[in-house]
Amino acid sequence: MSEFTSSFWDYFVGVITLVSIAACGLLLWMQSTHRASGSETSGHVWDEDIREYNNPLPRWWMWLFYLTIAFGFLYLLLYPGLGSFKGTLGWSQITQLEEENAQAQAAFGPMYERFAAKDVVALSKDPEALAAGQKLFLNNCAQCHASDGGGSRGFPNLTDRDWLWGGTPEAIKASITGGRTGVMPPMGEALGGQGVKDMRHYLMQLSGNAYDSIRAAYGREKFVVCAACHGADGKGNPALGAPNLTDKIWLHGSGEEIAETIARGRTNQMPAHKDLLSPSKIHLLTAYVYSLSAK
Amino acid sequence: MKVDVVELYEIRKAIHPRDVHGWFAAWRWLLVWATQLVFYGAAWLPWNGRQAVLFDIAHRKFYIFGLVFWPQDIIYLTVLLIIAALSLFLFTAVAGRLWCGYACPQTVYTEIFMWIERRIEGDRNARIKLDASGLSLKKFILKAEKHGIWAALALWTGFTFVGYFTPIRELGAEVLALRTGPWETFWILFYGFATYGNAGWMREQVCLHMCPYARFQSAMFDKDTMIITYDGARGEPRGKGAGRSDQRGDCVDCSICVQVCPTGIDIRDGLQYQCIGCAACIDGCDQVMQKVGRPKGLIRYSTERALEGKATRILRPRVLIYAAILAGIVLAAGAGLWLRVPLKVDVIRDRAAISREVEGGLVENVYRLQVMNTTERARSYEVAVAGLPAGALASEPRVHVGATDSRMVPVRVRADRALAGQGTHDIVFSIRAVDDENVAVQEKSVFIVR
């Protein structure tokens, strides 16, 4: 913003503010007595015969007016409000947020420290830790993985035993901390239109679904290019995030979507949380996620 | 033409009301005792191992004996305020400023503070003399004594007030150890200062210049409203002393009615906005009438219409309407409280994952149930879902929630795609306490098949 404005306007606004407040005080002082012409009314007449009495206000009321003026000056001295002057207390919305965060840290920090001292498997059986972990999960993970951790299309189900990147506590913690990027390269050009369809039949065979045996056999011949990641037996590779193709779990859909995945590839991302959550929170979340499938 | 310099802000003229006894003063003292026993006392009552009346703002739980109110129950506060306002309207239409004269905290605390003042400085004449005298050691001691006791009472009032928001026994221990929190300290001092300032110093200034009700209550007045009146036909021409003759009225012009008035007016000038309806002048005048052997009631509760010699109508449209609305709301609020279910449930649909496929051609939707147990014991609830063809709950139906606690429970609902059909289906969750089938709540939501 500072490129577009000059500090002239800060002074302009500041001077107008101060002069206005001072003028209010001056007006009040000048108006606290007046020369009356013996008349009891203010001289204003409404609706032909309604007049206003000039009854005095209580003196303490006048002091309240002066008090508000003093308050105004004091406020502008202590808090930001006068042009770009920051106020002597140094208060801002940012400092308030930081203070509140520090208070929350002081209030909840000991609980997280206590949980951080236990290992993930033990925590995953501790009801108190799971209750706290569930709150973290609902606030940070449920948007994609659903409130029950069951996921939806494109977002892995965390409640089953099928893990793209491994289901050990260490692997789960690494997924949350650093995130994951799973890339399936497009194979449409390499396989050709018919080759993609054949491959789909082979995958149906691998996962125990209905398939055309001749076309599956064609697909099987070409599976060698897939085996680099998914393994010769198609059971996947957690080091690469390559899914197991022999179960009935299809992250991106089990119908025609499979052909699309083969032809066009997929890039799927789990964002890193190391900058969003403290290590002790990630530890607790790991235990909660681990508990979802450990039942 | 004469030109004067006029002050637009006048210094308050001190009022030294004279002590008054009698029927109406006794009523006022009765209400002082009744309201203040409740105020100073209720904070100390225990109930089931907690404070009986406690407004726990930090945890947003408001305890009144057996009832626990949550922020969602704000309607009851609204209703309470409406009942209070309508009662004020009704009482005012029938009998004028009853609230102001007998029950308003400003009146009640002023009465207590004036009693302390009288005990230390003496009655009206002694106080006028004392205030007019120059500074002396005796005056200093008397004033210090008075303000000391006022301040102590005011601080106790502030302490009691804060004791409704933070447990008063713990607060008492904190005060004794001088380690009250910043907000507790602020509110004890602020409420104490307000009590001391309003009841000790401001007094009638509050009624004349601060109170909004004092200014708009004339809207409820009519010719049949009871007001405190001076019977001019009987009293005038007034006169005092041996020169009285039969042509004189009953008013002996003793000015007792002016001396006892807490707002410093002369009721014989007729109804004035300053009159708070405290009836001190009635008590004062009745005593004088008794002494001079005349019937009581020269100053009395009456209506403008009665003074004109006509009959007062109490049941008039305004009164009937106020009474009918008030009765309706009281009944509705009573029924609402009686039928209140100590369980609240909010259903929040998962928004990103709208609908998902699971094995066997089934479709699953996920919801969060916020289950709030507003009773003071832990409870288990049974969750069920209805309204979906071949649909059922696919997660744990039993939910356990601690005492006055709430839990967010993820819930799965599953349906057959073919039977339910594509689109949006209205469903109803019912949540029922396992140990009491009357504690049940139904909440609507939707199930989406994609």
At B399, which CATH number?
A: 2.60.40.10
Say yes or no: B252 and B389 in one domain. Answer: no
Q: Which of B5, B9, B412 sits opposite A58 (nearest CB)?
A: B9
CA-nearest of B294, B313, B292, B293 to B304 is B313
Per-residue pLDDT, B378: 94
Say yes or no: B114 and B217 in one domain. Answer: yes
Say yes or no: B257 and B391 in one domain. Answer: no
Query: How large is the C-alpha radius of gyration of chain A?
Result: 36
**Banded model confidence at residue B426, pLDDT cuts 50, 70, 90:** very high
Token pair of B408, please?
Answer: 């967010």
Per-residue pLDDT, B450: 81
A131: distance to nearest CA of chain B, Å?
9
A150: distance to nearest CA of chain B, Å?
9
Mean pLDDT, residues B118-138 taken together: 93
Is A254 close to B357, i.e. CB distance below 8 A? yes
DSSP A237: B
From chain B, the residues in CB contact with A36 under 8 A are 3-6
Mean pLDDT, residues B88-104 taken together: 94
From chain A, the residues in CB contact with B445 under 8 A are none
CA-nearest of B33, B95, B15, B31 to B260 is B15
A57: distance to nearest CA of chain B, Å?
5
Residue B85 maps to a domain: no
Q: Which of B8, B351, B354 sits opposite A31 (nearest CB)?
A: B8
Say yes or no: B357 and B282 in one domain. Answer: no
Is B8 close to A148, i.e. CB distance below 8 A? no
Is B209 close to A56, i.e. CB distance below 8 A? no
Diameter of chain B by CA atoms?
113
Nearest CA in chain A to B5: A35
Say yes or no: B171 and B302 in one domain. Answer: yes
Q: A135 CB near a chain B CB, below 8 Å?
A: yes
Q: Looking at the predicted structure, is the pLDDT value of residue B241 above 70?
A: no
Is B3 close to A144, i.e. CB distance below 8 A? no
Rounded to whole angstroms, how far apart are CA atoms B318 and B322? 6
Residue B316 maps to a domain: no
- If one counts the domains in chain B, the total is 2
Say yes or no: B288 and B391 in one domain. Answer: no
Residue type, B151: A
Q: Looking at the predicted structure, is the pLDDT value of residue B2 above 60?
A: no
Q: Looking at the predicted structure, is the pLDDT value of residue B1 above 50?
A: no
Say yes or no: B271 and B222 in one domain. Answer: yes
Backbone angles phi, psi at B247, to 5 degrees: -75, -20
End-to-end alpha carbon distance in chain B: 92
Rounded to whole angstroms, how far apart are CA atoms A125 and B40? 49
Residue B89 maps to a domain: no
Say yes or no: B352 and B251 in one domain. Answer: no
Per-residue pLDDT, A285: 96
Residue B215 maps to a domain: yes
Residue B69 maps to a domain: no
Per-residue pLDDT, A209: 85
Query: Strand, helix or coil at B141?
Result: helix
Is A62 close to B9, i.e. CB distance below 8 A? yes
Say yes or no: B153 and B299 in one domain. Answer: yes
Give the range of the structural domain holding residue B191, as residue numbers without chain letter: 8-42+96-309
DSSP B181: -
Per-residue pLDDT, B374: 92
Cis peptide leading into A185, omega within 30 of 0? no
Do the Cβ atoms of A270 and A161 come closer than 8 Å? no
Q: B3 CB near a chain A CB, below 8 Å?
A: yes
pLDDT tens per residue across span B356-414: 888 777 899 999 999 999 999 999 999 999 988 777 888 889 999 999 999 999 999 99
**pLDDT averaged over every residue in chain B:** 91
Do the Cβ atoms of B411 and B383 come closer than 8 Å? yes
Per-residue pLDDT, A6: 79
Say yes or no: B132 and B216 in one domain. Answer: yes
Per-residue pLDDT, B247: 73
Q: A53 CB near a chain B CB, below 8 Å?
A: no
Residue B407 maps to a domain: yes
Residue type, B349: R
Say yes or no: B364 and B272 in one domain. Answer: no
| pLDDT top residue among B442 and A32 | B442
Q: A248 CB near a chain B CB, below 8 Å?
A: yes
Give chain B's length: 450
Beta bridge partners of B427: B445
Rounded to whole angstroms, how far apart are CA atoms B6 and A38? 9
Rounded to whole angstroms, how far apart are CA atoms B251 and B239? 7
Q: A51 CB near a chain B CB, below 8 Å?
A: no
Mean pLDDT, residues B88-94 taken together: 94
Q: Tell me which residues of chain A have a pLDDT lower than 50.
A: none
Of the residues B309, B325, B357, the one at which a domain ends: B309
CA-nearest of A146, A147, A117 to A129 is A117
Rounded to whole angstroms, how far apart are CA atoms A289 and B336? 43
Is B368 close to A150, i.e. CB distance below 8 A? no
Residue B145 maps to a domain: yes
C-alpha A223 chain-centroid distance: 41
Least confident stretch, B158-167, B225-234, B309-318, B415-424: B415-424
Rounded to whole angstroms, how far apart are CA atoms A188 and A261? 9
Mean pLDDT, residues B122-139 taken together: 93
Residue B443 maps to a domain: yes
| pLDDT top residue among B280 and B14 | B280
Query: Strand, helix or coil at A53?
Result: strand
Do the Cβ atoms of B366 and A148 come closer than 8 Å? yes
Per-residue pLDDT, B108: 96
Give chain A's length: 295
Q: A152 CB near a chain B CB, below 8 Å?
A: yes
Is B9 close to A36, i.e. CB distance below 8 A? no
Q: Looking at the predicted structure, is the pLDDT value of residue B243 above 60?
A: no
Mean pLDDT, residues B293-297 taken together: 91
Q: Which of B10, B202, B395 sits opposite A59 (nearest CB)?
A: B10
Say yes or no: B175 and B253 in one domain. Answer: yes
Beta strands in B124-205 (DSSP E): none
